[in-house]
Amino acid sequence: MARILTKIYKALGVLERGHMVETDRQGLVAGYVGQTATKTAEKVDEAMGGVLFIDEAYALTMQATGARGDFGDEAIQTLLKRMEDNRGQFFVFVAGYPDNMEQFLKANPGLNSRFDKILKFEDYEPSDLLEIFKFMLSEKEMQLSEDAEQYMGKYLDFLYEYRDKYFGNARSVRQVVTEAIKNQNLRLAELPTAQREAHLHLLTLEDVQSFKLSHDDSVFAKRGIGFRKGKN
């Protein structure tokens, strides 16, 4: 969405260059006194005439109690000053989970006044998640069999119903796609070489049935390193 808005502002003549510089806490905050201001200023200079996009911006203000050597506030102060000094020369977009971003805006009095436009995106519906799943597969020149599609519809219904406030939407779907393709690769590895080509671009029910409709077996449950022993 940030990239789309950047293109719109460029087309309207609001932005001179219309490019977007993406960063996060790591790209703005340094480990030593005096370096954070320079590091942040360099990102602003890079974004002049375009947009500076800060992902998970709330991380700049989430300092552990009693922690030392954290310069997130220095990055914010530098950013606010440049936004004032170079008003109209670049835009700043910040993004993150709603609750965390609310705390971020409250962390510094200057933030609320600078970020006066807030866009909140609702979670995708299960039918949307299935379309995203199929689209991601198509990008890899793959498709679902009919029974696999029906099963994935039920599984994505389950993920949506039991989602929490940190639900990743398309990012969560991408995790499922990655896991399903891994399952397919393992299945194809057991086939004779001559038979693999016919199944190369198809996900079958067997490839997605490992996604169980329970929390314990969800693809998002913590996984250990190594192989899981099957039941006899």
Q: Is residue 137 part of a domain?
A: yes
> Are residues 97 and 132 both part of a single domain?
no
Q: Is residue 119 part of a domain?
A: no
- Mark whether 110 and 137 lie in a shared domain: no
Residue 227 in this model has a pLDDT that exceeds 90: no
Domain that holds residue 169: 126-208
Which CATH number covers residue 67?
Answer: 3.40.50.300
pTM above 0.75, yes or no: no
DSSP line for 209-229: TTS-SSSTT-TTS---SS-PP
Judge if 81 and 40 occupy the same domain.
Answer: yes
pLDDT, tens only, 50-97? 999 999 999 998 764 344 446 888 999 999 999 999 998 999 999 998
Closest listed residue to residue 43, CA positions, set 104, 90, 105, 97:
90
Residue 13 tokens, joined: 């003549």
C-alpha to C-alpha distances, 19 to 43, 66, 123, 150, nearest whole angstrom: 13, 39, 28, 41
CATH code (residue 153) = 1.10.8.60
Mark whether 93 and 36 lie in a shared domain. Answer: yes
Question: For the residues 194-221, what does the mean pLDDT come to?
Answer: 79
131-140 pLDDT tens trace: 999 999 999 9
Output phi, psi for 104, to 5 deg: -60, -45
The number of C-alpha atoms within 13 Å of 24 and in the hemisphere containing its C-beta is 7
Q: Is residue 165 part of a domain?
A: yes
